[in-house]
Amino acid sequence: MPEANSKTITVGVTGASGALLAQKMLTLLDADPRVARIHLVITETGQRLLHEELAIPAGPSGSLVARLIGRACCKIELLPNKDVGASIASGSYPVDAMVVIPCTMGTIGRIAHGVSSDVLLRAADVMLKERRKLILVPRETPLNLVHVKNFELLLLAGAIILPANPSFYSCPKTLEQAADTVVARVMDHIGIAHQLMPRWQEEQE
pLDDT in tens, 148-173: 999 999 999 999 999 999 999 889 99
Among 16, 4, 13, 26, which residue's Cα sits nearest to residue 124? 13
pLDDT at 3 (0 to 100): 44
pLDDT of 205 > 70? The answer is no
pLDDT value of residue 57: 83
Q: How many domains does the chain have?
A: 1
Inside any domain, residue 1 = no
| 35-80 tens-digit pLDDT | 999 999 999 999 999 999 999 987 777 789 999 998 887 899 999 9
**Residue 88 vs residue 64, higher pLDDT:** 88
- Cα dihedral across residues 87, 49, 100, 24: positive or negative: positive
- Residue 97 reports pLDDT greater than 80: yes
Nearest to 186 by CA among 157, 170, 164: 164
> CA 186, CA 113: separation in Å to the nearest integer?
24
| pLDDT confidence band for 117 (50 / 70 / 90) | very high
**Nearest by Cα to 184 from 174, 205, 170, 203:** 170
pLDDT above 70 covers a percentage of the chain that reads: 95
Evaluate whether residue 2 is within a structural domain: no
Q: What whole-number distance in Å separates Cα of residue 29 and Cα of residue 121?
A: 21
- Report the percentage of the chain scoring pLDDT > 90: 81
CATH label of the domain that carries residue 166: 3.40.50.1950
Tell me which residue range forms the domain holding 167: 7-204
- pLDDT of 200 reads 76
Residue 1 has what pLDDT?
40
- The whole-number pLDDT of residue 195 equals 85
Quote the CA–CA distance of 24 and 96 in Å, as a whole number: 19
191: left (phi over 0), alpha (psi -120 to 50) or beta: left
What mean pLDDT is predicted for residues 104-121? 97
For residue 170, what pLDDT is reported? Answer: 86
At residue 135 the predicted structure's pLDDT band, cuts being 50, 70 and 90, is very high
